């Protein structure tokens, strides 16, 4: 017997059949038929947010923590436009996401109807693909395609725009969900080219100064284990991009730390002086390369990426390999093992290379225990806060961040050991991402410790979600590095604009965070010194507060800068290492 | 370098806007664009004239291929190919001498007069872009009243075809 369902019911049913457990959304006129269909079922839990942007970041955090697409439901017009920043964030970081935007009915599309906006048009440059529903009967097929496209190849967000008439509860259609999907115009690479992989293996075994440069593609592709195997087999030094952190154990001696604008001295130097770079799931972002003309002058480039358009986009690849990180690294490992019988690794060159790296590390490597360091003003240092949180959580928490200095401090000093553990907006750099992303993670992994490292500027961009946290009892630990300014902006103004703080400070206009947080029924602590910090961090993560959202307001030295930092327009080895050293 | 790209595209609402959007978004240039359904009504074929060195065209091609609705992309300028463009041109033609001169030029270029008034001819002319320019020069700027061109369509020479 065939089931007869309305368009709204078909949509929800298709999501159920796709295995969706959570939808992050906000109702409104054009979405009400869909919301009524949601009301009549229990299999999908809908999370009511306070702002649609937060819904997209929650779905994004959910997706980054699990690898499964996050699902968003918003109404037409402002609901849809509010979702745009979150869609762009997911697009830039290749995160699978399905955004269902309600639309005004077909017969009024184009008439400037109430809450009408051209969502397909507005979202076009920031989605992997988008669909507009023409009839309820095509909803199952569109949903099936949306999930398939979103999660395969280079993942990304998909918008499904649903005109209200296609969800009419009075019009019923036969329901069946397609079992498989195949599109003649979309055939993502499933494995790499064997010949190219062998070529890469041979080049690797001939290298004297190799570096493995691994990015978010390794995390998204679930290829952490395969990456570690290749690194162990070769003994090559390895660095991560901001998006790749956690794909290789952060406290391992073979790990050079993050590279790029605020990368470690040893990783940026190793890259610059390398003769072979093995890029995996990384896209040579400008925050990594600095000036592309001066990038790694002596290096042969192996570039493994699932997206052919990423290869040779910024830096020409000598050995391009199109394919997902996991099968390519598996095959590369096998090819290396086979080639090793014929060409052993040039161990003496590699040892010499490690000696040079160790010198860089000894000279200016990051100090992972800054407890006893004193700032000029005697105030708490942001690095000390990250390190205290790292110790207290045994380096094991899911950590989300917002954007700015705190993000870089977290990336540098919380030494991630697993993929998906570090969740931040790398490509778009979206302030306001941290709290809702942490919420999405907490929904995905309810028992995990989820920490949101933020700054007061970013936090205030989406702090309305404290109310959502109250509603769903989300025990997130928010660590606010409060420097009473837009720290990264201020740092640039210090370094490049003669200390003219144009609209980057607001210290006399900040809320009393303790009162603010407590008014939402959460717990708040303040720390101003290292001793206070220790006590507060211990209490915040204590079993007694396991079920509570805890906000740590840590007043940190507003004059602290993030170092190392690129010299603008320079090569990777051109770094400012401390104030006054430029 | 001048490049002529042939693109097979799903014949769906919104597909063309993604192609055009891509060019705007990535700062690529479109000189001309023609598009219409093929013998298979589910497919449209675009001929897109652009400008760029090998590296740029490689990126353009890759990004076109990344669009879900793009089925196939081929750089026609890579090999032997035929290019044609259609022009409708309204020409001032007053007085016997002038009218005859215009008509003669038109025949030399194998154009067809498709509409006539006592003061003008409307001429249909097909050919490579260069030929259309040559015709316009021959007619002379002062006699040209209105020009409409379709943009270039292209197809590979020989047995090679662009198929799924």
Nearest Cβ partner of A124 from B10, B18, B55?
Answer: B18
Mean pLDDT of chain A: 97
Chain B positions contacting chain A at CB under 8 Å are: 10, 13-14, 17-18, 21, 25, 55, 58-59, 62-63, 65-66, 68-71, 164
A243 catalytic per annotation: no
CA distance A401 to B152: 51
Inspect the interface and report whether the beta carbons of A128 and B68 lie closer than 8 Å.
Answer: yes
Taking CA–CA distances from B73, the nearest residue in chain A reads A185
Mean pLDDT, range A385-397, rounded to an integer: 98
Taking CA–CA distances from A154, the nearest residue in chain B reads B66
pTM (2 decimals)? 0.96
Mean pLDDT, range A453-473, rounded to an integer: 98
For the stretch A378-387, pLDDT in tens is: 899 999 999 9
Q: What is the pLDDT of residue A390?
A: 98
Taking CA–CA distances from B43, the nearest residue in chain A reads A185
A103 catalytic per annotation: no
Report residue A582's pLDDT band, with 50, 70 and 90 as the boundaries: low
Q: Could you report the predicted ipTM of this complex, rounded to two decimals? A: 0.92
For the cut 70, the answer to whether the pLDDT of residue A22 exceeds it is yes
Inspect the interface and report whether the beta carbons of A312 and B63 lie closer than 8 Å.
Answer: no
For the stretch B44-69, pLDDT in tens is: 999 999 999 999 999 999 999 999 99
Report residue A2's pLDDT band, with 50, 70 and 90 as the boundaries: confident
Residue A379 C-alpha, separation from nearest chain B C-alpha, in angstroms: 46
Mean pLDDT, range A224-236, rounded to an integer: 98
For the stretch B16-54, pLDDT in tens is: 999 999 999 999 989 999 999 999 999 999 999 999 999
Mean pLDDT, range A295-322, rounded to an integer: 97
For the stretch A401-453, pLDDT in tens is: 999 999 999 999 999 999 999 999 999 999 999 999 999 999 999 999 999 99
Percent of chain A whose predicted confidence (pLDDT) is above 90:
98
At the top level of CATH, the class of B82-153 is alpha beta
- Note if the bond before A225 is cis, omega within 30 degrees: no
A266 catalytic per annotation: no
Q: What is the pLDDT of residue A343?
A: 87
A164 catalytic per annotation: yes
Q: Taking the domains of chain B in order of start, what are their residue ranges? A: 2-79, 82-153
List the structure tokens of A225.
């284990």
Q: What is the pLDDT of residue A375?
A: 87
Q: How far apart are the first and last CA of chain B?
A: 28
Strand stretches in A418-476, DSSP E? 422-423, 450-455
Query: Which whole-number Å values give the CA distances from A251 to A229, A401, B12, B53, B71, in the listed order?
Result: 17, 20, 51, 45, 46
Q: What is the pLDDT of residue A196?
A: 98
Report residue B86's pLDDT band, with 50, 70 and 90 as the boundaries: very high
Asked whether this chain's domains B2-79 and B82-153 adopt the same fold, the reply is: yes
For the stretch A521-557, pLDDT in tens is: 999 999 999 999 999 999 999 999 999 999 999 999 9
Four-residue CA torsion sign, A298, A302, A308, A310: negative
Catalytic residue among A16, A115, A370, A464: A115
At the top level of CATH, the class of B2-79 is alpha beta
Indicate the burial class of A13 (C-beta count within 10 angstroms; 0-12, 13-18, 19 or more): buried
Mean pLDDT, range A138-144, rounded to an integer: 98
Q: Which residue's structure tokens are 């708040």?
A: A524
Determine which of A309, A312, A313, A316 to mutate to test the interface with B (most B C-beta atoms within 10 Å): A309
A295 catalytic per annotation: no
Q: b/e string for A77-107 if b means 16 or more Cβ within 10 A?
A: bebbbbbbbbbbbbbbbbbbbbbbbbbbbee
Mean pLDDT, range A252-272, rounded to an integer: 98
Mean pLDDT of chain B: 95
| Consecutive H or E run containing A5 | strand A3-6
For the cut 90, the answer to whether the pLDDT of residue A376 exceeds it is no
Nearest Cβ partner of B164 from A125, A130, A184?
Answer: A184
Report residue A377's pLDDT band, with 50, 70 and 90 as the boundaries: confident
Q: b/e string for B107-139 if b means 16 or more Cβ within 10 A?
A: eebebeeeeeeeebbbbebbbebebbeebbeeb
């Amino acid at each position: 017997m065939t089931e007869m369902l309305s368009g709204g019911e078909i949509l929800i049913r298709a999501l159920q059949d796709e295995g969706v457990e959570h939808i992050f959304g906000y109702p409104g006129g054009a979405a009400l038929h869909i919301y009524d269909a949601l009301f009549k079922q229990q299999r999908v839990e809908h999370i009511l947010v306070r702002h649609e942007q937060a819904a997209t970041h929650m779905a994004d955090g959910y997706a980054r923590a699990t690898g499964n697409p996050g699902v968003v439901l918003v109404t037409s017009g402002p609901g849809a436009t509010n979702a745009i920043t979150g869609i762009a964030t997911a697009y830039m970081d290749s995160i699978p996401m399905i955004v269902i935007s309600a639309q005004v009915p077909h017969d009024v599309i184009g008439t400037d109807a109430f809450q009408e906006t051209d969502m397909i048009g507005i979202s076009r440059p920031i989605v992997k693909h988008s669909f507009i529903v023409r009839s309820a009967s095509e909803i199952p097929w569109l949903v099936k395609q949306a999930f398939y496209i979103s999660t395969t190849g280079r993942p990304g967000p998909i918008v499904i725009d649903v005109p209200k008439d296609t969800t009419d509860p009075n019009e019923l259609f036969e329901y069946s969900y397609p079992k498989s999907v195949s599109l003649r115009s979309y055939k993502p690479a499933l494995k790499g080219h064997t010949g190219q992989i062998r070529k890469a293996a041979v080049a690797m075994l001939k290298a004297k100064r190799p570096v493995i440069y691994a990015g978010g593609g390794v995390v998204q592709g679930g290829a952490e284990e395969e990456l570690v195997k290749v690194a162990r087999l070769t003994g090559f030094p390895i660095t991560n991009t901001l998006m790749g952190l956690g794909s290789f154990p952060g406290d391992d001696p073979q790990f050079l730390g993050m590279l790029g604008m605020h990368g470690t001295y040893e990783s940026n130097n190793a890259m610059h002086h390398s003769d072979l770079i093995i890029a995996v799931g990384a896209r040579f972002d400008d925050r990594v390369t600095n000036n592309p003309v001066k990038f790694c002058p002596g290096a042969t480039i192996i570039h493994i990426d699932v997206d052919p358009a990423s290869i040779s986009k910024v830096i020409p690849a000598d050995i391009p390999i199109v394919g997902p990180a996991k099968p390519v690294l598996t095959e590369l490992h096998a090819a290396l093992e086979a080639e090793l019988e014929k060409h052993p690794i040039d161990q003496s060159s590699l040892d010499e290379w490690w000696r040079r790296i160790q010198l860089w590390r000894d000279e200016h490597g990051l100090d992972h225990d800054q407890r006893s360091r004193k700032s000029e003003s005697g105030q708490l240092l942001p690095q000390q806060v990250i390190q205290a949180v790292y110790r207290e959580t045994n380096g094991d928490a899911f950590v989300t961040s917002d954007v700015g200095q705190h993000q870089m401090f977290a990336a540098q000093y919380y030494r991630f050991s697993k993929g998906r553990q570090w969740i931040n907006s790398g490509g778009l750099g979206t302030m306001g991402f941290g709290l809702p992303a942490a919420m999405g993670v907490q929904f995905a992994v309810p028992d995990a410790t989820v920490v949101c490292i933020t700054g007061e500027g970013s936090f205030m961009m989406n702090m309305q979600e404290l109310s959502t946290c109250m509603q769903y009892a989300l025990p997130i630990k928010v660590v606010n590095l409060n420097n009473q300014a837009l720290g990264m902006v201020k740092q640039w103004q210090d370094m490049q604009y003669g200390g003219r703080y144009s609209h980057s400070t607001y210290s006399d206009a900040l809320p009393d965070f303790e009162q603010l947080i407590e008014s939402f029924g959460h717990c708040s602590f303040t720390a101003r010194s290292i001793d206070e910090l220790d006590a507060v961090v211990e209490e915040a993560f204590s079993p007694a507060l396991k079920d509570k959202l805890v906000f740590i307001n840590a007043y940190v030295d507003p004059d602290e800068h993030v170092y190392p930092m690129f010299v603008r327009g320079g090569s990777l080895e051109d770094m400012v290492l401390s104030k006054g050293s430029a | 370098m001048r490049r002529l790209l042939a693109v097979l595209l799903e014949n769906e609402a919104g597909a063309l806007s993604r192609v055009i959007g891509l060019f705007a978004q990535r700062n690529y240039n479109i000189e001309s664009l023609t598009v219409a359904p093929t013998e298979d009504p589910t497919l449209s074929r675009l001929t897109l004239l652009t400008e760029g060195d090998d590296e740029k065209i490689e990126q353009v091609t890759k990004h076109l291929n990344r669009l879900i609705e793009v089925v196939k992309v081929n750089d026609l300028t890579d090999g032997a190919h035929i290019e044609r463009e259609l022009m409708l041109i309204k020409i001032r033609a007053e007085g016997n001498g002038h009218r005859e001169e215009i008509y003669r030029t038109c025949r030399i270029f194998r154009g067809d007069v498709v509409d006539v008034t006592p003061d003008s001819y409307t001429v249909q002319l097909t050919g490579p872009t260069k030929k259309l320019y040559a015709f316009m020069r021959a007619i002379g700027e002062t006699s040209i009243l209105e020009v409409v061109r379709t943009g270039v369509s292209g197809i590979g020479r020989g047995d090679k075809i662009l198929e799924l």
